[in-house]
Amino acid sequence: MNKTILITGGAGFIGSHVVRLFVNKYPDYKIVNLDKLTYAGNLENLRDVENTDNYIFEKGDIVDESYIKDLFTKYKFDGVIHLAAESHVDRSITNPMEFIMTNVVGTVNLLNAAKNQWKGNEDGKLFYHVSTDEVYGSLGDTGFFLETTSYDPQSPYSSSKASSDHFVRAYGNTYGMPYVISNCSNNYGPNQFPEKLLPLFINNIRNGKSLPVYGDGKFTRDWLYVVDHAIAIDKIYHEGRNAETYNIGGFNEWTNIDLIKILCKQMDIALCKEEGTAQQLITYVKDRPGHDKRYAIDANKLKNELGWEPSLQFEEGLAKTIAWYLENEKWMDNITSGDYQNYYKKQYS
């Protein structure tokens, strides 16, 4: 069936994997990738699909209400998969307003445009909002986030994502907007901007730079390979139930320090260094303010209802990830020159 789907934030980390999957798997769909190309957006991530017939790139800002309205008039979208966001917790601590504008105001602009376009003709339409497990707050040593867990966001980033989730549900409830939301745990894999833990540490090890571990390093995250997230989004987009929430996770919890030690071990092997070389770079630094202790997702609803499961074991995914960054040093060098150096100095000095 022909469909025109808007994917926002498609030049970013997760968005680029979602765009690639949809463009290749659904040749009958027209995929429009809308991205502002902030520091985190990079068209290099999509070189392999950029000349495909069913793919169109539009550079634009979701905060620009009239631009978004015109875009919906131009393409008459059947569906939206909304990933565009400011996504880094540390940046949200320094500059919360940018997160409110993009993550909250930008989402509401998209909802308004979709509502006006689909009014009275909602059949077959869908607004898919891609969100995060951070909206649930922080866990103690036990327990898991369920779809029914109360929201308790702790950082400006997670508060802005929680707010956008609430708006999506409010539009479903008030205006009958067809929607689905997924809340996912930490992603890792190719094309992630090196402000996030794994690509930052891979790049630092490659350059013999210290590895800044926040606090005592005993914070826990649940890691999922990014392609598995994209596959889950495809499943939920096509088979998920209207007005439902699906948690997505890796069934794969690690404390930061244990994860970093495995990374160091694999990096030593990949770079043919003596075992223990990378680990010497570990440096404990000041903690992130308000640092969430533990996230852990119960993804059994998605598993039982839609038959989705992560396809990769963690150590295999990590080895693939390391191999990608080492084979794509130019990609890394291009984005870590210029502004990145200023960001790094401010964040870590």
| Site residues for ligand DAU per CB under 6 A | 87-89, 132-134, 185-186, 196-197, 200, 212-214, 219, 221, 256, 288, 295
Show the binding pattern over residues 137-176: x = contacts ligand NAD (CB under 6 A), - = does not: ------------------------x---------------
The active-site residue out of 35, 133, 228, 292 is: 133
- Is 110 or 162 the residue whose CB approaches ligand DAU more closely? 162
| Binding test (CB under 6 A) with ligand NAD, winner from 106, 212, 240, 310 | 106
| Intra-chain end-to-end CA distance of the chain, in Å | 54
Nearest to 27 by CA among 58, 52, 6: 52
CB of 161 to ligand DAU, least distance (A): 7
* Residue 107 in the binding site for ligand NAD (CB under 6 A): no
CB of 248 to ligand DAU, least distance (A): 10
Find how far residue 283's CA is from the centre of its chain. 27
| Binding test (CB under 6 A) with ligand NAD, winner from 5, 6, 7, 9 | 9
Instruction: Indicate the Cα dihedral angle 105, 110, 246, 308, nearest 10°.
Output: -130
Q: Which residues contact 95 (CB under 8 A, 6 or more apart)?
A: none
Per the annotation, the verdict on 157 as an active-site residue is: yes
Q: Which residues contact 172 (CB under 8 A, 6 or more apart)?
A: 178, 179, 242, 243
Q: Are 14 and 42 in contact (CB under 8 A)?
A: no
Per the annotation, the verdict on 133 as an active-site residue is: yes
Which of the listed partners (ligand NAD, ligand DAU, none) does 89 bind, with a CB threshold of 5 to 8 Å by partner kind? Answer: ligand DAU
| Segment interacting with ligand NAD, rule: CB under 6 A, options 32-40, 165-173, 237-245, 323-331 | 32-40
Per the annotation, the verdict on 134 as an active-site residue is: yes
Q: Which residues contact 44 (CB under 8 A, 6 or more apart)?
A: 331, 334
Give the angle 201-203-230 at the CA atoms, nearest 5°. 75
Q: Where are the beta strands (DSSP E) in 199-271?
A: 211-214, 220-225, 244-248, 253-255
Residue 99: what residue type? F
Q: Are 131 and 183 in contact (CB under 8 A)?
A: yes
Which of the listed partners (ligand NAD, ligand DAU, none) does 111 bind, with a CB threshold of 5 to 8 Å by partner kind? Answer: none
CB of 131 to ligand NAD, least distance (A): 6
* Binding region for ligand NAD (CB under 6 A): 8-9, 11-15, 35-38, 40-41, 61-63, 83-87, 102, 106, 130, 132, 161, 184, 186-187, 193
